[in-house]
Amino acid sequence: HPQNSQMEESCVLKPLECRAKGGAPGFKVAILGAAGGIGQPLAMLMKMNPLVSVLHLYDVVNAPGVTADISHMDTGAVVRGFLGQPQLEGALTGMDLVVIPAGVPRKPGMTRDDLFNINAGIVRTLCEGIAKCCPNAIVNLISNPVNSTVPIAAEVFKKAGTYDPKRLLGVTMLDVVRANTFVAEVLGLDPREVDVPVVGGHAGVTILPLLSQVKPPCSFTKEEVEYLTKRIQDGGTEVVQAKAGAGSATLSMAYAAVKFADACLRGLRGDAGVIECAFVASEVTELPFFATKVRLGRSGAEEVYQLGPLNEYERIGLEHAKKELGESIQKGISFIKK
Ligand code: NAI
């Protein structure tokens, strides 16, 4: 509409040449899927992170709007928006860390695996871009099913000859965040004081909280163990049902994603003792990928920790987790190999 476009134009100020400013120290971070339910609050929280100097926001829709909005926040990071496949290279070039929440979320009644057909292709395309434009970046993969999308990403990077298992991390932080919250609730503690290792993968029974290793040391009744294990495994579904068709966890996920990305950046900076759970290439079990605690350093997941002592309940849970996880991993690998 001519009047509309005139009105819009009159709102846009002519760009003014800004006084040169040396590049601020810090890391360059790209968010792929930045206009989505997770992407938007994630972009906002990243803009608030003092370790970030440049923030690239990429999506196939609405990236300019989210970018304009976020760019008005008076924090250090410089924000740039990128819209659609032709701008993917610009979004990725020079990045230190790429966070990927692109893809469709669940609706009630769906499993994470039901998202495979759509999200597998999205993750493949985005990882091809990473292999080409920023092969040394750390990748934080959020898109579900994480148990399959991480193997997909690994195969794409192998094909491109850029694969470094230390730099590819599936984000399972939300499971840890939930576990800390629910356990703290049962124990009557501040969740910030609680540390619950969650291992395995990121779907249903593959989410395995190790309640025998909770810090501070504590003990649970059999009922508490069953309640907590189930609530942590079904935490995502609890949100999907409450949102009743409007998507899955976005705000707590954005919080968890930034908590994890911040740990990766502190590792990149060279901080000592940065340890978080993540779904990575692993020799802890016979499966090629598995989530456990990892130590984050300058080159990514520099050390993958063993499971530690498990009790009988956890050993049984581990067998269930491995069975489903193995199938999801294989499905991801076959998607690229076939
Ligand atoms: P959403 O639908 O609100 O947002 C997804 C965004 O991705 C949209 O803005 C969409 O335009 C964008 N997108 C689609 N195709 C794209 C492409 N080819 N390139 C770039 N961007 C593209 O979904 P939401 O709620 O943000 O969830 C995103 C993903 O995160 C889902 O797969 C969901 O299952 C997953 N998730 C993972 C969790 C985890 O713990 N790892 C927790 C919660 C969700």
| 24 pLDDT tier (thresholds 50, 70, 90) | low
**What pLDDT band is residue 2 in, cutting at 50, 70 and 90?**
very low
Mean pLDDT computed over 67-73 = 98
Residue nearest atom 9 of ligand 1, based on CA coordinates: 36
**Amino acid symbol at 244:** A
Tell me what pLDDT residue 103 has.
97
Q: What is the pLDDT of residue 338?
A: 82
Residue that is written with structure tokens 């692109």 in the block: 102
pLDDT over 60 at 10, yes or no: no
Catalytic member of 1, 72, 202, 320? 202
Q: Judge whether 202 counts as a catalytic residue.
A: yes
Backbone angles phi, psi at 275, to 5 degrees: -130, 125
Amino acid at 134: C
* Strand 289-297 relative to strand 300-304, pairing: antiparallel
| Ligand 1 pocket, residue 148 CB under 6 Å | no
143 is in an annotated binding site: yes
From the alpha carbon of 170, which atom of ligand 1 is closest?
41
Is the predicted pLDDT of residue 4 greater than 50, yes or no?
no
Binding residue per annotation — 39?
yes
Give one DSSP letter per residue of 252-301, joined into a string: HHHHHHHHHHHHHHHHHHT-S--EEEEEEE-SSSSSSEEEEEEEEETTEE
pLDDT of residue 300: 98
Q: Is the pLDDT of residue 8 over 80?
A: no
Vertex 40 angle, CA 193 and 84, to 5°? 140
Q: Which of 134, 108, 75, 130 is nearest to 245 (CA)?
A: 108
pLDDT at position 25, please? 78
Predicted pLDDT at 16: 79
* Residue 324 confidence (pLDDT): 97
179: buried, middle or exposed (CB in 10 Å: 19+, 13-18, 0-12)? buried
250 CB near ligand 1 (under 6 Å): yes
Is position 203 annotated in a ligand binding site?
no
Beta partners for 28? 54
Please state the separation of Cα 234 from the chain's center in Å: 18
pTM assigned to the model: 0.95
Mean pLDDT for 200-211 is 98
**Residue whose CB lies within 8 A of the most ligand 1 atoms, among 113, 115, 144, 252, for a mutation test:** 144
Nearest C-alpha to atom 5 of ligand 1 is from which residue? 36
Mean pLDDT (the chain, rounded): 95
Span 118-146, pLDDT tens digits: 999 999 999 999 999 999 999 999 999 99
What lies within 8 Å, CB to CB, of 47 at 6+ separation is 55, 70, 73, 75, 77, 79
Cα-flanking dihedrals φ and ψ of residue 182, to 5°?
-70, -40
35 lines ligand 1 (CB under 6 A): yes
Q: What is residue 13's predicted lDDT score, i.e. its pLDDT?
A: 73
Residue 160: which H helix or E strand, with range?
helix 146-160
3-state DSSP call for residue 202? coil
Residues 90-119: tens digit of each pLDDT: 999 999 999 999 999 998 999 999 999 999
Q: How far apart are CA 237 and CA 193, in angstroms?
A: 26
CA 29 to each of CA 90, 96, 129, 137, 165: distance values in angstroms, whole numbers, following the listed order: 12, 6, 15, 9, 19
**Cis peptide bond prior to 145, omega within 30° of 0:** yes
The pLDDT of residue 136: 98
Query: Which residue's C-alpha comes closest to atom 35 of ligand 1?
Result: 143
178: annotated binding-site residue? yes
Is the confidence at residue 155, as pLDDT, over 80?
yes
Q: Is the CB of 38 under 6 A from ligand 1?
A: yes
What does the pLDDT average to over 42-69?
A: 98
C-alpha distances in Å from residue 5, one per residue of 1, 15, 83: 6, 18, 20
In the reported structure, the alpha carbon of residue 226 is separated from the centroid of ligand 1 by a whole-number distance in angstroms of 31
Q: What is the mean pLDDT of residues 27-48?
A: 98
pLDDT at 235 over 60: yes
30: tokens are 């790209």
Q: Report how far residue 190's alpha carbon sits from residue 212's, in angstroms, rounded to the nearest whole number.
A: 19
User: Tens digit of pLDDT for each residue in 281-323?
Assistant: 999 999 999 999 999 999 999 999 999 999 999 999 999 999 9
